[in-house]
Amino acid sequence: MCGRRTCAPGKTYVKLSLMPVASYQVRRATSADEMAAAVALRHEVFCREQGVPEWEELDGRDHEGIHLVAVTDQELLGTCRLLRVGKTIQFSRLAVRSDARRQGIATALLALAEDEARALGARRLVLHAQTYALKLYENAGYRARGRVFVEAGIEHQAMDKTVD
């Protein structure tokens, strides 16, 4: 299991454990190739691993979004998408490659998302968490809102976080 570390958006993280990821960076996707790799990872994780229909995963809104990625020198390890709706940022499509999980990559992407939201002048981040991963978001300061519901055949919980 990975060693604990503080996540600082835009920084390079060096991993001090036996897991395969040596170091990675979290930042915005910067090229069409990187964007394609992010969409391919989402397809692998959501459609193949979790059985989400492709039409639901590809909702036609990618062009509106800011896409964040976790990358090593050679590989894309994780991604997420931010959509701006007024003063609110909708956080979604968080996916980490299966062999790179439990090393803080999702946590680092959440931290960068918050930084981006602040820079955009947003007041709130909202998301639909898969219930098995609630702790990930609770650890990042998100609060549950309302009841658990089913989306794409998977249990979800709406959560939000106010941006300071």
Ligand X SMILES: CC(C)(COP(=O)(O)OP(=O)(O)OC[C@H]1O[C@@H](n2cnc3c(N)ncnc32)[C@H](O)[C@@H]1OP(=O)(O)O)[C@@H](O)C(=O)NCCC(=O)NCCS
Residue 136-155 contact track with ligand X, rule CB under 6 A, x = bound:
x--x----------------
The phi, psi pair for 87, rounded to 5°, reads -90, 10
**Residue 106 sits in the site that holds ligand X (CB under 6 A):** yes
Q: CA 48, 12, 111: angle at the middle one, nearest 5? A: 65
Closest CB to ligand X among 120 and 133?
133
**Beta-sheet pairing, 66-71 with 76-85:** antiparallel
The phi, psi pair for 33, rounded to 5°, reads -65, -40
- Contact pick of 29, 126, 129, 159 for ligand X (by CB under 6 A): 129
List, in sequence order, every beta strand (DSSP E) within 75-142: 76-85, 88-96, 124-130
Binding-site size for ligand X (CB under 6 A) equals 18
Residue 35-74 contact track with ligand X, rule CB under 6 A, x = bound:
----------x-----------------------------
Interface residue list for ligand X (CB under 6 A): 45, 94-96, 101-107, 129-130, 132-133, 135-136, 139
